[in-house]
Amino acid sequence: MDQPIRKLFDPSALPPRDEMGHVEHPDLDRFMTDRDDEAFVDAEALKNAGFEYCFVHLDGSDDQAANDRYFEEGDPDFSAWTPETPEGGWLLAGMWEAEEWGPVAFYVREAVKA
């Protein structure tokens, strides 16, 4: 890879969330793949670059107001949701709606060496 891992996913490069709550870190583009005209995170490319990832879902979060607004009232705006960052050096790389899960926050970190 042409760029050292520590320079990828710099939190200061994360743009502000849009009016509906979506955001993607610009470095995420290099780890996206196209499937049936939809973008998906290429987990293998992330792993090969020395990263691991995890998702935090609005569904199941402690934010009952955001859950009710999105899932019960059908309001697609999840901009008020502030997901809880997992412990252990995780960096926010994106927030978007997943067809099967609703709003998710996508986190990355350098893979922990065992």
Q: pLDDT digits over 7-32, tens only?
A: 789 999 999 999 999 999 999 999 98
Domain count, the chain: 1
Residue 36 predicted with pLDDT over 80 = no
Residues of the domain holding 46: 5-110
Residue 5 predicted with pLDDT over 60 = no
Give burial (CB, 10 Å; 0-12/13-18/19+) of 99. exposed
Which pTM value belongs to this model?
Answer: 0.88
Give burial (CB, 10 Å; 0-12/13-18/19+) of 104. buried
pLDDT of residue 60: 84
Q: pLDDT digits over 63-98, tens only?
A: 999 999 999 999 999 999 999 999 999 999 999 998
Residue 40 predicted with pLDDT over 80 = yes
